[in-house]
Chains A and B, each alone.
Chain A
Amino acid sequence: MISKSPTFSNPTCANPAYAGGPGFPARAIPLSAILLIAIAVHGPLLLMQLPAGSYDANTHMFFAAHYAQHWFNPWNEKWFGGFSQTTYPPLTHQWIALFSHIMGLKFAYMFVQLIAILLLPIGMYRYAALWVDEVSASYAALGSIFLGSLSMLVYQSGQLPTTAAAALTLNAAPFFYDWLLRSRFLDLLKGVAIAWAAAAAHHVTLLFGAILFAVPVLVLALLDRNAEEIEEDRASVGGVLGRAVVFAVIAIAGVAIVLWPFWVALLKNPITQMPIPHGSRDNYILKTFSGINFWIIPMGAMILALPFIVIRGSAERRLRPLLIGWYITALLGLGGTTPAGKILLGRAYQVLTYERFTFWATIMAMPFVGLLALELIQRFRMKAVVGLTIAAVATMAASVAWIEINPIASSPFSVDQVIAFLNRDDHAKFRYITLGFGAHFAEVSTYAKAGSVDGDYNSARLLPEMTAYGAGQLYNAKYYGLAGMESLRAVLKHANQYGLKYVFVRDRYYEPLLAFAGWREAETYDNGNVTLWTKEDVPPAKRLEFVGFTPTPMEGLMWGILPVASSLFALFLVLLVPERRRVSATLEFPVRATVEPVLLREAK
């Protein structure tokens, strides 16, 4: 799959206007070359383990570390006094866990992230080809490597599951389209198998992203149903809609089974927690930093293409569904800059974060960008190539530079001594929390044997001290204002019940509360950067019973088998079950002398 150029099912993409106008060689960039460029661009950054300092990478490694040790037991006692990992789709974590036995946890994370990055241009090539010609699609695929939104998600947010699920969703879309138009069972099977794998990677992408991607493709299929040359091959509206329903039913049924323990956990513990503030819900005009971080940098040079996207998307009938889909997604990506999110998403608005919507919007915009690139290259030749290259590279460079200029941790510090302390003697008998550690908390909890009352995945929390307030992690309590500090107070008040003896502090803001509440400073680490506070009368931690929330052994078995199996099944179908399909691109004849020779392709 990787080494071959994708096949094109779009019957209208043979428009000669797109296939390389006179005067400049415009041909599709081979997918293999695009993938090599992706490796060349992102490989070094991943080898440098740049994502390890991101917001969520350590959280995903924490989940993976648990699977590496307890594949069939998703109950993890190292956060929140105990929580079920069935509250988060496991696919990427389980792949990290598998590779971690070969290359260690951090490199396994980087490797899986690289795979997700490579899947993105592959999916983009195929997805863009639904809308535009092959050459533009190849440009779109190439451009997707340099997306600012991708870099922000990978290197700042550490949202591996989001990037993996989006890439898989893109790969599923063409099979969905082919199934709708041509009713081939193999397309259905491949489409739903990849959709199951995408759902197993990330649930929010399944719930929101898949719809935003799928509906325009469905409308496109309705528009294209009469494009087949042979009348018998043409699909009826009823047929297309019927097949869409069949696809949706099978996909939903499969997702229900593959993620069964997830739905059980969600029903038992629905997300009724107080909304937690997030910068992506800000008004980007009123809060400039959020605007730069969540929109300007992720969009990058694509901002310059917005007029083209709107004008060209409106002008061509086939592109209108994509334009409207992109527009809605982009509106949602604006967070609190418009009331669209609150209106369209209702209560879910306060639960979701919107950087992923901007990511999806930039992905959906790439077919237009590919088209623009082709037209610019045909018109301005090498100048356009240079300009587009600079724009792409600058977009990615700006995002990586932005992350370096605005690091999520104000000053680097080492948690090695903290981990060593927790793993020494019998210290793991007690629980701990960290204050002011930021994303390093997840790193501590990944490698420490002791459990914590805090945790980094808000939806999994069961302790009332944490769910009753509109605050996120305890380690960032002060940033949640009164809600955060009251939540921290409530947890500290019940330190004895939870066996919470150790508090590691890297922000002196928290010291007054600890001092007045009966903790005493005991040790310092990292040249005074971190202090350990202890409370002497705390008994060893007992196992906390969350009756009804612990996954059953059967759920553990399903969780250990089905998500990974869905991805293996999708891989098997795509790689080992080839299909013969008609290449529908029309070749101009006679070929003009000034045009680059067109290579006839063998039907596959």
Chain B
Amino acid sequence: MKRALPILIIVLTAVLIAMATIQPNELTPATSPDGAVRALFDHVKARDYKGAFAYVANSGDTEEQAFAADLAGRDGSLRTYSSLEQADTKVLHASDNEALVRATLQYATAVGAFYDTRDLKVVREGDRWKVEWPVVQEANVPPQVIQENYLRWDVITRGSNDDWGAQNVEAPRVRIISMNAIAQGANTIIVGEIENEDTVPGFVSVGATLIGKNGDVLGEETSFDKISHTLLPKEISPFRIDFPKTPLATVKSVRMTPNSMLVPASADPVIGVVHQRVETDSRGRHVLKGELINESGVTVNIPHVLATYYDGAGKVIWVSDGYVDNALLPQAPVPFAVDLRDDPASNVHNYRVTVNEYMLQQDE
């Protein structure tokens, strides 16, 4: 016991530590197409872009810096506020020397979950597989002066000694101009549009309360981020309010509560939407695609796209949204895509895209 016990303790400790510590060499060459993609994204997850770059095939054509910027983001975009949480891979087709691997990526971002799907070409180089990384080249906009003559509304408050938060002015008149309750499985979804009917800008939100058959409240929700909160005079915003686990069949009525308050606002930045079209993506799902162009002279760091879909009668039948993980540099087009559910897709007659924005520079 005198000698056996120390030996046992030392051996047991070494074995236990080895069990929890020894892992395959992190830069082991990938021996399969999806292994190469997985290894690349494992390094991205650990923010080891140098390690990830070791799995890139066309490393002669691709600069490591551009590769890292592509994955880590730049210009204060949503990607710079993100970290990769999960990467699932699926081989779409493979031959002896090349394969196509789909990577479904889940990011944790400052605005919640962000999903991205990339179909990556993987090629064999000797006994290992490597990923051909398609680095997106940034549009190179020439230096220029952009004249801006946008409208702007300022609000003069009474003073710092007044009651905090009391505006003592009438709230801008807003009106819900369209509303539609939709059943989606066990969920109820309210979609519609709200208009600022006033001559001053308003900060709006929409709340909804579902009333059950016997008059009790089934749920209260708000439009949260599925609305443009700042509405200029006569501007219209779509909204969507989700009630999870509340079947539409149990709802007797819906009480809508639009709210508004006077705020300073400006028409800048103007973001144009071009090349909009509804397509079916490689996964067979309907998506609304297009490009955003920031027509102002300042960078929009995080754009948020809201799409409103109308049927033949002009009624709102769906509202979908999506954040864009690239910043909008002045005059540079950036692609976007938002999902469209299959069931309303067949009835879509028209659609409208509006863009919210978050700008770091605004407050600096």
Asked whether A516 lies within 8 Å of B225 as measured between CB atoms, the reply is yes
Report the separation of the CA atoms of residues A285 and B5 in the bound assembly, to the nearest whole angstrom. 25
The residues in B between 127 and 164 inclusive whose CB is less than 8 angstroms from any CB of A are 163-164
Asked whether B222 lies within 8 Å of A518 as measured between CB atoms, the reply is yes
Pick from B6, B85, B229, B263: contact of A482, CB under 8 Å = B85
Report the separation of the CA atoms of residues A314 and B111 in the bound assembly, to the nearest whole angstrom. 57
B83 within 8 A of A: yes
Report the separation of the CA atoms of residues A495 and B224 in the bound assembly, to the nearest whole angstrom. 10
Give every chain A residue within 8 A of B302 (Cβ-Cβ).
Answer: 512, 516
Give every chain A residue within 8 A of B358 (Cβ-Cβ).
Answer: 511-512, 515-516
Give every chain B residue within 8 A of A339 (Cβ-Cβ).
Answer: 16, 19-20
* Whole-angstrom distance between the Cβ of A471 and the nearest chain B Cβ: 10
Given A512-B111, A534-B165, A536-B203, A481:B224 Cβ within 8 A: no
A338 within 8 A of B: yes
Of A174-182, A405-413, A485-493, A550-558, which binds chain B?
Answer: A485-493
Asked whether B203 lies within 8 Å of A331 as measured between CB atoms, the reply is no
Give every chain B residue within 8 A of A283 (Cβ-Cβ).
Answer: 20-21
B9 within 8 A of A: yes
Give every chain B residue within 8 A of A311 (Cβ-Cβ).
Answer: 6
Given A425-B164, A516-B111, A521-B363, A338:B20 Cβ within 8 A: yes
The residues in A between 287 and 334 inclusive whose CB is less than 8 angstroms from any CB of B are 310-311, 313-315, 320, 323, 327, 331, 334
Give every chain B residue within 8 A of A203 (Cβ-Cβ).
Answer: none
Report the separation of the CA atoms of residues A496 and B107 in the bound assembly, to the nearest whole angstrom. 28
Give every chain A residue within 8 A of B85 (Cβ-Cβ).
Answer: 481-482
Pick from B5, B111, B227, B301: contact of A320, CB under 8 Å = B5
B109 within 8 A of A: yes
Mark B1-44 against chain A: 1 for CB-CB distance below 8 A, else 0: 11111100110010011011101000000000000000000000
Asked whether B9 lies within 8 Å of A327 as measured between CB atoms, the reply is yes
Report the separation of the CA atoms of residues A331 and B4 in the bound assembly, to the nearest whole angstrom. 19
Asked whether B20 lies within 8 Å of A513 as measured between CB atoms, the reply is no
Pick from B1, B21, B110, B203: contact of A478, CB under 8 Å = B110
Give every chain A residue within 8 A of B337 (Cβ-Cβ).
Answer: none
Mark A496-516 against chain B: 1 for CB-CB distance below 8 A, else 0: 110000000000111111011
Pick from B17, B110, B356: contact of A337, CB under 8 Å = B17
Given A481-B83, A520-B263, A512:B78 Cβ within 8 A: yes
Given A511-B358, A518-B229, A489:B21 Cβ within 8 A: no
B261 within 8 A of A: yes
B81 within 8 A of A: yes
The residues in B between 191 and 243 inclusive whose CB is less than 8 angstroms from any CB of A are 203, 205, 207, 220-225, 227, 229
Give every chain B residue within 8 A of A427 (Cβ-Cβ).
Answer: 164
Report the separation of the CA atoms of residues A315 and B106 in the bound assembly, to the nearest whole angstrom. 55
Asked whether B165 lies within 8 Å of A496 as measured between CB atoms, the reply is no
Give every chain B residue within 8 A of A494 (Cβ-Cβ).
Answer: 221
Given A481-B85, A482-B85, A512-B78, A286:B259 Cβ within 8 A: no
Report the separation of the CA atoms of residues A427 and B360 in the bound assembly, to the nearest whole angstrom. 29
Asked whether B110 lies within 8 Å of A331 as measured between CB atoms, the reply is no
A249 within 8 A of B: no
Report the separation of the CA atoms of residues A311 and B263 in the bound assembly, to the nearest whole angstrom. 75
Main secondary structure of the interface of A (DSSP, over half): helix
Asked whether A320 lies within 8 Å of B1 as measured between CB atoms, the reply is yes
Give every chain B residue within 8 A of A310 (Cβ-Cβ).
Answer: 5-6, 9-10
Report the separation of the CA atoms of residues A494 and B222 in the bound assembly, to the nearest whole angstrom. 8
* Whole-angstrom distance between the Cβ of A111 and the nearest chain B Cβ: 38
Given A311-B6, A516-B358, A285:B220 Cβ within 8 A: no
The residues in B between 304 and 335 inclusive whose CB is less than 8 angstroms from any CB of A are 304
Give every chain A residue within 8 A of B78 (Cβ-Cβ).
Answer: 512
For this complex, into which size category does the number of interface residues on chain A fall? 35 or more
Asked whether A285 lies within 8 Å of B304 as measured between CB atoms, the reply is no
- By beta carbon, the residue of chain A nearest B301 is A512
Asked whether B113 lies within 8 Å of A486 as measured between CB atoms, the reply is yes
A336 within 8 A of B: yes
Report the separation of the CA atoms of residues A497 and B219 in the bound assembly, to the nearest whole angstrom. 10
Asked whether B356 lies within 8 Å of A338 as measured between CB atoms, the reply is no
Asked whether A340 lies within 8 Å of B16 as measured between CB atoms, the reply is yes
Report the separation of the CA atoms of residues A478 and B356 in the bound assembly, to the nearest whole angstrom. 23
Give every chain A residue within 8 A of B4 (Cβ-Cβ).
Answer: 314
B185 within 8 A of A: no
Give every chain A residue within 8 A of B106 (Cβ-Cβ).
Answer: 482
Given A320-B5, A521-B363, A512:B81 Cβ within 8 A: yes
A390 within 8 A of B: no
Give every chain B residue within 8 A of A520 (Cβ-Cβ).
Answer: 203, 263
Asked whether B21 lies within 8 Å of A485 as measured between CB atoms, the reply is no
Asked whether A536 lies within 8 Å of B261 as measured between CB atoms, the reply is yes
A537 within 8 A of B: yes
Asked whether A509 lies within 8 Å of B20 as measured between CB atoms, the reply is no
Which residue, B20, B223, B229, has most C-beta atoms of chain A within 10 A? B20
The residues in A between 449 and 488 inclusive whose CB is less than 8 angstroms from any CB of B are 478, 481-482, 484-486
* Whole-angstrom distance between the Cβ of B84 and the nearest chain A Cβ: 10
Give every chain A residue within 8 A of B220 (Cβ-Cβ).
Answer: 496-497
Give every chain B residue within 8 A of A382 (Cβ-Cβ).
Answer: none
Report the separation of the CA atoms of residues A327 and B16 in the bound assembly, to the nearest whole angstrom. 13
Give every chain A residue within 8 A of B263 (Cβ-Cβ).
Answer: 520
Pick from B13, B83, B112, B360: contact of A489, CB under 8 Å = B112
Which residue, A285, A425, A482, A510, has most C-beta atoms of chain B within 10 A? A482
B108 within 8 A of A: yes
The residues in A between 517 and 547 inclusive whose CB is less than 8 angstroms from any CB of B are 517-518, 520-522, 534-537
- By beta carbon, the residue of chain A nearest B228 is A516
Give every chain B residue within 8 A of A509 (Cβ-Cβ).
Answer: 81, 110
Asked whether A522 lies within 8 Å of B16 as measured between CB atoms, the reply is no
* Whole-angstrom distance between the Cβ of A80 and the nearest chain B Cβ: 19
- By beta carbon, the residue of chain A nearest B7 is A314
Give every chain A residue within 8 A of B222 (Cβ-Cβ).
Answer: 493, 495-496, 518, 537
Give every chain B residue within 8 A of A521 (Cβ-Cβ).
Answer: 363
- By beta carbon, the residue of chain A nearest B85 is A482
* Whole-angstrom distance between the Cβ of A67 and the nearest chain B Cβ: 32
Given A310-B9, A481-B85, A517:B225 Cβ within 8 A: yes
- By beta carbon, the residue of chain A nearest B222 is A496
* Whole-angstrom distance between the Cβ of B48 and the nearest chain A Cβ: 13
Mark B67-101 against chain A: 1 for CB-CB distance below 8 A, else 0: 00000000000100101010000000000000000
Give every chain A residue within 8 A of B20 (Cβ-Cβ).
Answer: 283, 336-339
Asked whether B108 lies within 8 Å of A482 as measured between CB atoms, the reply is yes
Asked whether B5 lies within 8 Å of A485 as measured between CB atoms, the reply is no
* Whole-angstrom distance between the Cβ of B223 and the nearest chain A Cβ: 8
Report the separation of the CA atoms of residues A489 and B114 in the bound assembly, to the nearest whole angstrom. 13
* Whole-angstrom distance between the Cβ of A279 and the nearest chain B Cβ: 15
Given A314-B1, A521-B363, A285:B17 Cβ within 8 A: yes
Can you offer 29 A-B residue contacts whose CB atoms are under 8 A? A283-B20, A285-B17, A310-B6, A310-B10, A314-B4, A336-B20, A337-B20, A337-B21, A338-B20, A339-B19, A425-B164, A478-B110, A485-B109, A485-B110, A485-B112, A508-B360, A510-B110, A511-B110, A512-B358, A513-B112, A516-B229, A518-B205, A518-B222, A518-B227, A518-B229, A522-B165, A536-B165, A536-B259, A536-B261
Other 20 A-B pairs with CB < 8 A, given A518-B225, A534-B165: A310-B5, A314-B2, A331-B13, A339-B20, A482-B85, A482-B107, A482-B108, A485-B111, A489-B112, A492-B224, A496-B207, A509-B110, A510-B110, A516-B225, A516-B356, A516-B358, A518-B205, A521-B363, A535-B205, A537-B207
